[in-house]
Amino acid sequence: MGHGHDHGGHAAGRAADRSRLRLVLVVTLTVMVVEVVGALLTGSLALLADAGHMATDAAAVVLALGASYVATLRGGPRSTFGLHRAEILAAMVNALVLLVVCGYLAWAGISRLADPTDVDAGPMVAFALVGLLANAVSLTILNRSDTGSLNLRGAANEVLADLVGSILAVVAGLTILFWDWERADPLASLLIAALILPRSVVLLKESAAVLLEIAPAGMDLDDVRRHLLEMPGVVDVHDLHAWTITSGMPSLSAHVTVTEEALAEHGVGGLLDQLSQCTADHFEVRHSTFQVEPVSHRSHEDLGEVH
C-alpha cells in the first residue's frame, strides 16, 4: 500500500538548475576559447591545462543539461521510476572525466618539470585573471541551487577546480614574471591535478552509492525501525529497505505488522498517514511505501531480513 506524493518542488528545482547550467555553459565556452588563445600565445602549460579542463567542463555541463532534461521525461511501462537516474549517470561520467584530466595534468606537469620551457608571463597572468573572474561568476551561479543534485554538484566541482586552476595559473605567472622560475608553470599544473583528484573520487563514490541502491548517508535503518515500532499498534517491521532514486529523493519501503485493534481504530489509510508522517518528520523521507499487515497475516508470510 503506497502513499501519495507531490514532486512538483523537485521538478521546479531541476528547472532552475537547468537555467543555471545554461548560463554557466556560455561563460565556460567563452573563457575556454580565451585561455586556449592565451596558452598558444604565451606557451603556458598551466593555461593550457586550465583551458583543457574547461573544455571537459563544457562537455560536462552539456551532459548534465541533457541528463536533467532526460530525467523530466515520462518513463515507459518498464521504467517505473521514470528516468531520474540519468542525472546520477551523468555525475558518474563527470567524475570519470575528471580522473582522466588528472592523469593528463600529472603526466604533462612531470614532463615539463624535467624540461621547462619559456613562458610569456605577463600575458599569461592577464589571461588567467579572465578565467579566474569567469569561474568565480559560474561557481556563484551554481551554488545558488538548493536542490542538492549530484548532477549539479558534478558541474560545480569542475568549475571549482577551474577556479583553483586559474588562481594557480595567476600565481605561477607572477612567480615567473618576478623571479624567472619557469618550473612554476608545470608545478601549478600538478597542483591542479592534486586538487581535482579527491573531489573526483568523492563524486564517483556518491554516484556509485546511488546506483548500487545503498541506504542514504546518515540514515540508520535500525533507528528507522525503532521509530516505527514506537508507534501505537505496531508490533513488527520487516522487509525494510531504503535507497535514493536521485539526488534529493530518498525512498523507503517496509512491511508493518499492526494489531487488529489499531486497524479497527485508524483504518489502513489512517495508519499509512501516521507511518509516512513519522519517516518524513524524523528522517526527511517523503517517498515512502508501506504494506500494512494485520497480526493474523504473519503466519502466511516469509519475513525478510532488514536491509
- What pLDDT does residue 307 have? 43
What cell numbers appear for 245 in the block? 532514486
Q: Which three-class secondary structure state does DSSP give residue 190? A: helix
CA angle 102, 153, 105 (to 5 degrees): 10
User: What are the boundaries of each domain within the chain?
Assistant: 8-211, 221-300
CATH number of 8-211: 1.20.1510.10
Among 251, 266, 281, residue whose Cα is nearest residue 3: 251
What cell numbers appear for 59 in the block? 562537455
Evaluated on CA atoms 185, 187, 191, 196, the torsion sign reads positive
Cβ burial, residue 205 (10 Å; 0-12/13-18/19+): exposed
Angle between helices 8-42 and 121-143 (to 10 degrees): 180
- What pLDDT does residue 1 have? 46
CATH number of 221-300: 3.30.70.1350
CA angle 229, 234, 236 (to 5 degrees): 70
Phi-psi region of 258 (alpha: psi -120 to 50; beta: other; left: phi over 0): beta
pLDDT by 10-residue block (mean), the chain, 307 residues: 46 67 85 87 83 74 70 71 76 84 86 85 90 86 67 72 83 91 89 79 87 89 94 92 83 93 90 92 88 78 50
Contacts of 281 (CB under 8 A, 6+ apart): none
